[in-house]
Structure 1
Amino acid sequence: MVTLLVIIAYGLVVLFSASYSVSYQESGDSFSQIRQQLGFAVAGVAIMFGISFTDYRALRHLTWYLYFFTLLLLAAALFSNNPTNLSAKCYRWVEIAGVTFQPSELAKFSTILGTAAFVDAHQQQKGSLLYGIILPTLPLIPTLFLIFRQPHYSAIILILMIYFTMLICGGCGLKWMLPVLSVGVIGVVYMLTSQDNYVQTRLDGWTLFSSDTSTMTDQTEQSIYAIASGGLFGLGIGNSRQKHQWLPEVTNDFIFPVLCEELGFIGALVCILLFAALIIQGILIAMRSPDLFGSMLGVGIMGQIAWQVFCNIGVVTNTIPNTGISLPFFSSGGTSLLMLLGEMGVMLSISRVGNARIEERRRRKLEAFAKKLEHGTRSVYRRGGAAHSI
């Protein structure tokens, strides 16, 4: 929890520095974005603590309800006239009670919950192809189809990464996994590259082994400039130059280059180490879960954070092709932050139940030891009186 709160505070500081120029240009108020994000952070932390005091095992009963609700929202987004949809020329947002919501964020957790419930319910058959891969994949197809129609390709990639991470860690159909993954990767690449020139342009602009920035996409080129100018210790918090209308999406997908430019290699390293600590702690919590359902939930949630961090930093450093994936707890976006903090509440719930189980086991051992000690003391007194007493 402490690691998470440090990450949230770090993210809010970096976001304010990255957003004030854009906020002033858009609304004349330098504090507009950070004020909104701070409100979501406070609400999200409250939700996180509320969820942490409930038993995560109750989520098992919500699996299908959440699944169909997610499909409903994804379908509604395709017919929504939300201004964000029209300006971005895609259909990824719906408006609920005056609040814009991105259903693909809910789809990530819906996939995690559904996969965890299925693997737990079929523990004995999970090694087979049918129960290990085919059946758990069937409910995923409508979700991916609706997200594809938005279109939101990065969400598809991320959901598949989370899904297969859970299957592999759960020991599902391992002997079939390699050919299935190979076919899946080929299919996703073909699906993306055959649709339009947008994806192909991103792939053409990926120059991993080239130092010529002119062949990169504009976003990647400006990102490299920002990271390079940061040096070891950075230009100082608030002193980024690239965030002033040069680097696109500075408050979302490309917030990490602003961090690198202002805080340098040291600041970037601290950010990565904090995420590494959070992921390792999350994995330990998942391993201490009293049941497979909790372990799979923990693996899925931490897998989502790990893959998002990897893909976001990989994109901005030109390590992988450019795709729009936000940096958890740093990038702006109320839907993402609320969902992530809700999921961290589930992690805290798993931790509470796991710790309670360990404490109960310790208590029983101490009681058993005390009984043995008491029995041994009485035996000694009976044998020899005071001369043999302990």
Structure 2
Amino acid sequence: MENKKISSQYPSRSYGNRQQPEKKVKKAESQNIFARSGRAVKKKFRVFSIRAGMDMPFFLLIMVILCIGLVMLFSASYANAYYVYGDSYYFIKDQALFMVLGIIIMILVSYFDYHHLHKFAMPILGVSFLLLVVVLFQPAINQVHRWVQIGTFSFQASEVTKFAIVLSFAHLISINFKRMDTFRYGILPYLIILVPTLLLLAAEPHISCIAIVVLLAAGMLFIGGVKLRWFVIALSVIVGAILYLVIFTDNFSYANDRILGWLDPFNEQIWQETWQTRNSLYAIGSGGLLGLGLGNSRQKYLYLPEPQNDFIFAIVCEELGLIGALIIIILFALLVWRGISISLKAKDKFGSLLGIGLSAQVGLQVILNIAVVTNTIPNTGISLPFFSYGGTSLVILLAQMGVVLSISRTSMIEKG
């Protein structure tokens, strides 16, 4: 009787007299559904149209922020570019080129069915680990190992790491969603990923990336439904380990001066260490409500070191004032909100988690960057998305935004 019930339940999946186990049947059915869905999406994607299925508000927000960022980068960088390279357009030419390349990649990625990222999640994580190891053997820049140099081309390995963490967590949480309340499926796999990642980042050292990775991981696990007890224990252990590394190891000795500088940026005994923070505060203060006007910053004339990088928001405040800075913050907030809204409309948990993670990454970087520039937290060296100079990081970021647009396209197609 039992065999008859099984065969009647799955008549098309019998192999002679042996019946396929129920678990394998369900897996095969889910793969079939995915294949049919993939074929449908692929068929729809054959018609190339930039607007077809794309979330235009999200796309337009990216373009507006990019344009403002490019203008502010030129304004912030031309004095330093002329002084260092003898060419006022040195930084803007590079950034504009990578921006165009990034936009093209973003649009192309938006046509890639994000479901296929499932099978690339673990390989990308493996590449991320490899890059974090390789970067330790690269020459140190300002006492840290963060850049992978390939000929004249260089990039930060941590940019790949952030994407790899979001992707791998979305992959694992989505396939183990119903078992996230157990230690084996809700905590253990993520600790296996996080512990070596954080140790490698600590070896660089890279405090800001450690903070972003931990916050992203914690947020995704919380959304994924991990049991609160395991969540609190794991988070406490990780935060405790990070604090131990920062306080008691030589690798983070420079962080002690930064913490002292954060507590008292006008302390004459650490004048050199707080130079950047002090001039950032001078720039913000001199901007006032309406700013000095576009291009009229004084601090960018070799007072604020490398104003085109992590402290570009200080120049934004100086030239555009509090009003201009608030408008840019609102644009970022709208971008993150729209990205999360797109993600919540995804037809599967993987798409929702992936989109939320990528959108949250932008929001976290903006918050941490502004907090550093305003001396709300110690200087950790974190860039402002779409604004700070950095071609490869901009391309990677735009590719990630392309994934969010892919979620919007695919969701629209699956909806019918």
TM-score (norm 2): 0.81
Residue of 129, 134, 142 corresponding to 1:71: 129
Structure 1 SS opposite 2:154 = strand
Answering whether residue 181 of structure 2 is matched by residue 124 of structure 1, we say no
Structure 1 SS opposite 2:179 = coil
Amino acid at match of 1:271: I
Which segment is superposed worse, 160-169 or 8-17? 160-169
Counterparts of 1:16-55 in structure 2, within 5 Å, are: 16-55=74-113
- Tell me how far 1:97 sits from its aligned partner: 5.2
Q: CA–CA distance in 2 between the matches of 1:89 and 1:331?
A: 21
Q: CA–CA distance in 2 between the matches of 1:322 and 1:150?
A: 16
The corresponding residue for 2:210 is 156
Percent of aligned positions that are identical: 45
Amino acid at match of 2:197: T
Q: CA–CA distance in 2 between the matches of 1:293 and 1:319?
A: 35
Amino acid at match of 1:312: N
Residue of 293, 304, 313 corresponding to 2:361: 304
Q: CA–CA distance in 2 between the matches of 1:273 and 1:346?
A: 23
Which segment is superposed worse, 135-144 or 251-260? 135-144
Structure 2 SS opposite 1:184 = helix
Counterparts of 1:360-375 in structure 2, within 5 Å, are: 360=416
RMSD: 1.7
Residue of 342, 348, 361 corresponding to 2:405: 348
Q: CA–CA distance in 2 between the matches of 1:131 and 1:147?
A: 25
User: May I ask how many residue pairs the two structures share in their alignment?
Assistant: 353
5+ unaligned residues in a row in structure 2: which ranges? 1-58
Q: CA–CA distance in 1 between the matches of 2:299 and 2:370?
A: 17
- Tell me how far 1:213 sits from its aligned partner: 7.1
CA contact (8 A) 2:177 2:225 kept: no
The corresponding residue for 2:382 is 325
Deviations 1:310-350 (A, max 9, x none): 10001111111221110000001112101100000000000
Classify 1:251/1:155 alpha carbon distance in 2 versus 1 (closer, same or farther; 3 Å).
same
The corresponding residue for 1:236 is 293
CA contact (8 A) 2:295 2:319 kept: yes
Q: CA–CA distance in 2 between the matches of 1:227 and 1:314?
A: 13
Answering whether residue 239 of structure 2 is matched by residue 185 of structure 1, we say yes
The corresponding residue for 2:346 is 289
The corresponding residue for 1:255 is 312
Q: CA–CA distance in 2 between the matches of 1:5 and 1:102?
A: 24
CA contact (8 A) 1:223 1:254 kept: yes
Amino acid at match of 1:194: F
Amino acid at match of 1:277: L
Residue of 250, 254, 268 corresponding to 1:198: 254
Amino acid at match of 2:189: L
Amino acid at match of 2:111: F
- Tell me how far 1:175 sits from its aligned partner: 3.4
CA contact (8 A) 1:77 1:93 kept: yes
Q: CA–CA distance in 1 between the matches of 2:62 and 2:160?
A: 21
